[in-house]
Amino acid sequence: MQLGLVTVVVAAYDPAIAFFVEALGFELVEDSPATTTHGGRPKRWVVVRPPGAQTGILLAEADGEQQQAVIGAQMGGRVGFFLNVDDFDAQYQRMAGAGVRFLEEPRSEAYGRVVVFADIAGNKWDLLGPA
Protein backbone atom coordinates (compact mmCIF):
# COMPACT_ATOMS: atom_id res chain seq x y z
CA MET A 1 0.00 0.00 0.00
CA GLN A 2 0.95 3.59 -0.46
CA LEU A 3 -0.75 6.92 0.01
CA GLY A 4 -1.21 8.33 -3.48
CA LEU A 5 -2.69 11.80 -2.99
CA VAL A 6 -3.91 14.23 -0.37
CA THR A 7 -6.16 17.16 -1.23
CA VAL A 8 -5.56 20.82 -0.52
CA VAL A 9 -8.57 23.03 -1.23
CA VAL A 10 -7.48 26.30 -2.84
CA ALA A 11 -9.20 29.46 -4.06
CA ALA A 12 -7.90 29.16 -7.64
CA TYR A 13 -5.78 26.68 -9.59
CA ASP A 14 -3.16 28.87 -11.26
CA PRO A 15 -1.94 30.83 -8.21
CA ALA A 16 -1.80 27.56 -6.24
CA ILE A 17 0.23 25.86 -8.97
CA ALA A 18 2.62 28.83 -9.04
CA PHE A 19 3.05 28.70 -5.26
CA PHE A 20 3.76 24.98 -5.06
CA VAL A 21 6.01 24.89 -8.15
CA GLU A 22 7.85 28.20 -7.91
CA ALA A 23 7.93 28.91 -4.17
CA LEU A 24 8.18 25.37 -2.80
CA GLY A 25 10.01 23.75 -5.73
CA PHE A 26 7.43 21.01 -6.36
CA GLU A 27 6.86 19.38 -9.74
CA LEU A 28 3.62 19.84 -11.66
CA VAL A 29 2.73 16.20 -12.32
CA GLU A 30 -0.62 16.70 -14.02
CA ASP A 31 -2.96 19.50 -15.06
CA SER A 32 -5.85 18.04 -17.04
CA PRO A 33 -9.46 18.97 -17.67
CA ALA A 34 -11.84 16.93 -15.52
CA THR A 35 -15.52 16.23 -15.24
CA THR A 36 -17.54 19.29 -14.37
CA THR A 37 -18.58 20.14 -10.83
CA HIS A 38 -22.06 19.58 -9.48
CA GLY A 39 -22.98 23.07 -10.66
CA GLY A 40 -21.81 22.33 -14.21
CA ARG A 41 -18.63 24.41 -14.07
CA PRO A 42 -15.48 22.89 -15.55
CA LYS A 43 -12.72 21.79 -13.20
CA ARG A 44 -9.18 20.48 -13.50
CA TRP A 45 -7.22 17.54 -12.12
CA VAL A 46 -4.08 19.24 -10.79
CA VAL A 47 -1.37 17.24 -9.00
CA VAL A 48 1.92 18.56 -7.60
CA ARG A 49 4.56 16.79 -5.55
CA PRO A 50 8.10 17.26 -4.27
CA PRO A 51 10.79 16.04 -6.69
CA GLY A 52 11.27 12.29 -6.31
CA ALA A 53 8.25 11.84 -4.04
CA GLN A 54 5.54 9.26 -4.64
CA THR A 55 2.73 10.96 -2.73
CA GLY A 56 1.27 14.02 -4.40
CA ILE A 57 -1.10 16.83 -3.56
CA LEU A 58 -4.33 17.24 -5.50
CA LEU A 59 -5.02 20.97 -5.73
CA ALA A 60 -8.79 21.28 -5.66
CA GLU A 61 -10.38 24.62 -6.48
CA ALA A 62 -13.17 25.29 -4.00
CA ASP A 63 -16.63 24.71 -5.41
CA GLY A 64 -19.36 26.29 -3.33
CA GLU A 65 -19.60 27.87 0.10
CA GLN A 66 -18.83 24.74 2.11
CA GLN A 67 -15.52 24.17 0.31
CA GLN A 68 -14.64 27.86 0.35
CA ALA A 69 -15.08 27.83 4.13
CA VAL A 70 -12.26 25.29 4.59
CA ILE A 71 -9.64 27.11 2.51
CA GLY A 72 -6.69 27.54 4.83
CA ALA A 73 -8.40 25.77 7.71
CA GLN A 74 -8.33 22.15 6.62
CA MET A 75 -6.51 21.11 9.79
CA GLY A 76 -8.39 23.35 12.21
CA GLY A 77 -5.44 25.70 12.66
CA ARG A 78 -2.89 22.96 13.39
CA VAL A 79 0.17 22.12 11.33
CA GLY A 80 -1.13 19.47 8.96
CA PHE A 81 1.63 19.06 6.38
CA PHE A 82 5.31 18.25 6.85
CA LEU A 83 7.96 18.97 4.23
CA ASN A 84 11.23 17.13 4.95
CA VAL A 85 14.40 18.48 3.34
CA ASP A 86 18.06 17.48 3.45
CA ASP A 87 19.47 21.03 3.55
CA PHE A 88 17.23 23.02 5.87
CA ASP A 89 19.09 26.33 5.66
CA ALA A 90 19.28 26.35 1.86
CA GLN A 91 15.62 25.44 1.46
CA TYR A 92 14.54 28.00 4.07
CA GLN A 93 16.53 30.76 2.31
CA ARG A 94 15.19 29.76 -1.12
CA MET A 95 11.59 29.69 0.10
CA ALA A 96 11.94 33.00 1.97
CA GLY A 97 13.36 34.56 -1.20
CA ALA A 98 10.36 33.23 -3.14
CA GLY A 99 7.96 34.98 -0.78
CA VAL A 100 6.84 32.09 1.41
CA ARG A 101 5.24 33.42 4.60
CA PHE A 102 6.98 31.97 7.65
CA LEU A 103 5.02 32.17 10.89
CA GLU A 104 8.02 31.99 13.24
CA GLU A 105 11.79 31.90 13.29
CA PRO A 106 13.58 28.59 12.59
CA ARG A 107 14.38 26.61 15.71
CA SER A 108 16.24 23.47 16.71
CA GLU A 109 14.38 20.59 18.32
CA ALA A 110 15.55 17.11 19.32
CA TYR A 111 14.24 15.78 15.99
CA GLY A 112 15.92 18.47 13.86
CA ARG A 113 15.53 22.00 12.51
CA VAL A 114 11.96 23.23 12.04
CA VAL A 115 9.99 26.30 11.05
CA VAL A 116 6.26 26.74 10.42
CA PHE A 117 5.07 28.33 7.18
CA ALA A 118 1.72 28.94 5.53
CA ASP A 119 0.85 27.75 2.05
CA ILE A 120 -1.04 29.92 -0.45
CA ALA A 121 -4.35 28.89 1.11
CA GLY A 122 -3.19 29.57 4.67
CA ASN A 123 -2.69 25.95 5.78
CA LYS A 124 0.21 25.47 8.19
CA TRP A 125 3.22 23.36 7.26
CA ASP A 126 6.42 22.36 9.05
CA LEU A 127 9.64 22.67 7.07
CA LEU A 128 11.83 20.01 8.66
CA GLY A 129 15.54 19.32 8.32
CA PRO A 130 18.10 17.17 10.10
CA ALA A 131 19.51 18.25 13.45
For 50-86, write each residue's pLDDT tens digit.
999 999 999 999 998 999 999 999 999 999 999 999 9
Lowest average pLDDT, out of 28-37, 58-67, 108-117, goes to 28-37
For residue range 86-111, list pLDDT tens digits in order. 999 999 999 999 999 999 999 999 99
The matching CATH number, chosen from 3.40.50.1370, 3.30.70.100, 3.10.180.10, 3.90.320.10, for 79-129 is 3.10.180.10
**CATH code for the part of the protein at 5-69:** 3.10.180.10
pLDDT band at 38 (very low <50, low <70, confident <90, very high): low
d(CA 106, CA 127): 9
Q: Range(s) for CATH 3.10.180.10 in the chain?
A: 5-69, 79-129
Q: Are 42 and 32 in contact (CB under 8 A)?
A: no
Instruction: Tell me the torsion sign for CA atoms 29, 31, 35, 37.
Output: positive
Q: What is the pLDDT of residue 3?
A: 94
Q: Are 119 and 22 in contact (CB under 8 A)?
A: no
Q: How far is CA 43 from CA 12, 13, 17, in A?
A: 10, 9, 14
